[in-house]
Structure 1
Amino acid sequence: AWTEYQTEHSQEPRAEQLSAYLASKKGMTGRGGKPVSPSTLRRYLLPFRVYNVWAEHRVRNEIPSPDAIAQECAAHGITAQHNKPLTTDYIAEQADDFERRWQALTRHHAKPQQ
């Protein structure tokens, strides 16, 4: 949904926009059938943004460099809380999860072509 929103709107969604998109386009709702709370989604926005940069690097390198990703995130204004730069440690901690996501999405997108 994150990627589809970006494709349709040419920008990253804010939590409120992603909540509405999930409800209207994907039928994903929270309690009581209402859209997922934007405050619930906010915790995922930073990892989604960092994953996008990581995935661009993953296309070119089997093991993306946390340092290169941190530098590119800084260049794009992607920061941690209180506008602190992302650390290479943060990116390295996410690497296994990012790789799992990469593999799952790669398989998902390859299925229709088979």
Structure 2
Amino acid sequence: TDVDFCQVFQSTCRHSRQKWFEVASFPIFNVGGLGSLEELGITLCNMKLSILEQVPVILFDTESRKGYWNGIDQQIHDMIHHGRAPAWIQDNIVITDDPQGVIDAYRTRLQLF
């Protein structure tokens, strides 16, 4: 049925996306839905557990309305404030709508000119 196909497709795509996240050096999250939120959570948890290296996590805002990621940023800040997340996570979050901001974050992390 269509439902069975959809479930198999989603399951296969999810595993494929996870594989790319394992290979990626610097994750960039675009404006998205619950799937993007899930991937962001998995990435941050994997960094906390030292499964992934602590690298800049780019939250890229491509929407014309600014502030798409502000709620997530505030939530992470609150978790840190209440001792439920390590402070270094906030230092690794980069929210930008400017491609140059992504490059600058990478240069800073890699200590390039």
Bin of the TM-score, shorter chain as denominator length: under 0.3
Higher helix content, 1 or 2? 1
Scaled by the length of structure 1, what TM-score is found? 0.25
Higher strand content, 1 or 2? 2
Q: Pick 1 or 2: higher relative contact order, CA cutoff 8 A, min separation 6.
A: 2
Scaled by the length of structure 2, what TM-score is found? 0.25
